[in-house]
């Protein structure tokens, strides 16, 4: 079955004459007279029909065996690090989602976890960082917010020869756009808040694992016994978003490419960072590993922070807000949201290209440039 069909039907466990599945709010499930449970559900933190529907659908969309849904992308990511043993070492990229980097620096490393930051675009640096006890390599490609690409095939080879698990934060690359499990990665993590849910109305995250192995069982234990689980309504909303994911992504990808091409020709632009442009420094890697180039791009403005701020303020259809992956276009000055230890250039604006008509988005950008 193809992605569009799986997305619409895999999660539906219909009862009565429902066309879509209901929201099961019950926290607890009844035993039969003989003490047995008629299905797998006992207590809703452990499992419930809506979460199972979401997890099964995501596992099928990623061609994986299992998935575990969490109450945020951050909780999903944390579970992967927390599943490591006390003598295990992990390697992460310097350019990565700032919230996870913050947890690594301020929570995991201070509690004695051994985690190294490397520039993942530099494979020699990655190889040098490998230790005998390296158990996990974490990558994010394209990276946030510089859209640097990691050569995923090359990192998979390095991870395999080190005997390490390769986990990919594929939030910016929903199923079908960058099939890292098929390439040989072990785990995919998504912030479901973004493209999966797609409407900026629910926070969630999910860990998808190619195999139901020991490492995943530990993640499942963390999910159930630490309990950072999404509510049944959250799961229902995310699954509803997933039903239109493929169609929304076509619009995000096509609008983003057109906007990137338009921006590249503006006099006030220093650089457009978008993997679908031939000018991207790693365009060849993009063509090798990305089926589509995504809905996210960043721009560097001539004239520094003041001009970047003014351009964002001049826009009327693009909303100035953090986050990404919703149907509405957003624009954001990343350095100010990331705070004082941010490495992001202060003339950078990050754009989440939405599904408004491309002509209206370009007209909005044109009037914002005119007013600079």
Ligand X SMILES: *Cc1c(COP(=O)(O)O)cnc(C)c1O
- Alpha-carbon distance 348 to 300, whole Å? 5
Please provide the DSSP assignment of 310-356 as one string.
HHHHH-SSSEE-S---SSS-EEEEHHHHH-TT--S-TTEEEEE--SS
Least Cβ distance, residue 140 to ligand X (angstroms)? 6
Cross-strand bridge partners of residue 205: 70, 191
Question: Is 170 or 282 the residue whose CB approaches ligand X more closely?
Answer: 170
- Local structure of 90: helix, strand or coil: strand
Residue 183 sits at φ, ψ, to 5 deg, of: -70, -25
Whether 45 sits among the annotated catalytic residues: the reply is yes
For the bound state, the minimum distance from the C-beta of residue 246 to ligand X, rounded and expressed in Å, comes to 20
Nearer to ligand X by Cβ, of 251 and 294: the residue is 294
Q: Catalytic one among 41, 52, 88, 97?
A: 97
Instruction: Please state the separation of Cα 244 from the chain's center in Å.
Output: 17
The verdict on 97 binding ligand X (CB under 6 A) reads yes
Active-site residue, 293 included: no
Q: What is the DSSP letter of 22?
A: P
Q: How far apart are CA 162 and CA 90, in angstroms?
A: 12
Which single residue brings its beta carbon nearest to ligand X?
73
- How large is the angle between the packed helices 245-264 and 232-243, nearest 10 degrees? 70
CB 50 within 8 A of CB 236: yes
- What is the rounded CA–CA span in Å between residue 221 and residue 276? 40
Select 102 or 310, whichever has its Cβ closest to ligand X: 102
> 41, 88, 151, 169: which one is catalytic?
169
Name the strands in the sheet holding 187-191, side by side, starting at the edge strand that comes first in the sequence.
66-70, 205-209, 187-191, 165-169, 134-140, 89-93, 114-118
Query: By C-beta, is 55 or 140 nearer to ligand X?
Result: 140
Q: Establish if 294 lies at the interface with ligand X (CB under 6 A).
A: no
**Binding mask 44-83 vs ligand X (x if CB under 6 A, - otherwise)?**
----------------------------xxx--x------
Going from the C-alpha of 138 to that of each of 183, 271, 318, the distances in angstroms are 15, 28, 32
Annotated active-site residue 248? The verdict is no
CB 290 within 8 A of CB 275: yes
Pattern 185-214, ligand X, x by CB under 6 A: ------x-xx--------x-x---------
Instruction: Write down the least CB distance from residue 79 to ligand X, Å.
Output: 12
Q: Which of 13, 45, 102, 258 is catalytic?
A: 45
Residue 360 CB, nearest distance to ligand X (Å)?
25
Cα angle: 110, vertex 115, 121; to 5 degrees: 140
Site string for ligand X, 135-174 (x = CB under 6 A): -----x---x------------------------x-xx--
Number of residues this chain uses to bind ligand X (CB under 6 A) = 17
Is the Cβ of residue 81 or residue 172 nearer to ligand X in the bound state? 172
Distance between CA atoms of 4 and 250, rounded to whole angstroms?
12
Q: Which of residues 162 and 198 has its CB atom nearest to ligand X in the complex? A: 198
344 binds ligand X (CB under 6 A): no
Q: Which of 60, 194, 248, 334 is catalytic?
A: 194
Q: How far is the CB of 239 from ligand X (least distance, A)?
A: 16
Closest to ligand X by CB, 276 or 295: 295
The answer to whether 99 contacts ligand X (rule: CB under 6 A) is yes
CB 56 within 8 A of CB 67: yes
* 194 in catalytic set: yes
Q: Which residues make up the interface to ligand X (CB under 6 A)?
A: 72-74, 77, 97, 99-100, 140, 144, 169, 171-172, 191, 193-194, 203, 205
The residues annotated with a catalytic role in the active site are 45, 97, 169, 194
């Amino acid at each position: 079955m193809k992605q569009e069909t799986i997305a619409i039907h895999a999660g539906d466990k219909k009862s009565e004459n429902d066309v879509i599945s209901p929201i099961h709010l019950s926290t607890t499930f009844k035993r039969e007279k003989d003490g047995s449970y008629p299905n797998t559900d006992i207590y809703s933190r452990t499992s419930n029909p809506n979460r199972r529907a979401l997890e099964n659908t995501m596992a099928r969309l990623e061609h994986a065996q299992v998935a575990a849904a969490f109450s945020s992308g951050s909780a999903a990511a944390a579970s992967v690090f927390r599943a490591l043993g006390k003598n295990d070492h992990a390697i992460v990229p310097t350019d990565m989602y700032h919230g996870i980097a913050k947890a690594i620096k301020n929570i995991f490393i201070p509690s004695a976890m051994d985690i190294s930051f490397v520039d993942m675009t530099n494979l020699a640096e990655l190889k040098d960082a490998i230790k005998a006890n390296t158990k996990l390599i974490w990558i994010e490609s394209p990276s946030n917010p510089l859209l640097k690409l990691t050569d995923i095939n090359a990192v998979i080879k390095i991870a395999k020869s080190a005997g390490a698990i390769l986990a990919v934060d594929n939030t910016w690359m929903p199923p079908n756009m960058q099939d890292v499990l098929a390439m040989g990665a072990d785990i995919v993590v998504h912030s479901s808040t973004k493209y999966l849910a797609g409407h900026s109305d629910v926070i969630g995250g999910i860990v998808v694992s190619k195999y139901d192995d020991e490492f995943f069982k530990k993640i499942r234990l963390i999910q159930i016994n630490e309990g950072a689980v999404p509510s049944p309504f959250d799961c229902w909303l995310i699954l509803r978003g997933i039903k239109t994911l493929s169609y929304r992504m076509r619009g995000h990808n096509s609008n983003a490419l057109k906007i990137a091409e338009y921006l590249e020709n503006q006099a006030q632009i220093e650089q457009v960072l978008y993997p679908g442009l031939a000018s991207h420094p790693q365009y060849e890697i993009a063509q090798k590993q990305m089926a589509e180039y995504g809905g996210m791009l960043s721009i560097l403005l001539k004239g520094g922070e003041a001009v970047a701020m003014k351009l964002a303020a001049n826009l009327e259809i693009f909303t100035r807000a953090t986050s990404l992956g919703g149907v509405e276009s957003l624009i954001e000055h990343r350095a100010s949201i990331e705070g004082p230890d941010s490495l992001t250039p202060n003339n950078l604006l990050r754009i989440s290209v939405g599904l408004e008509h491309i002509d209206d988005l370009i007209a909005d950008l044109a009037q914002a440039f005119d007013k600079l």
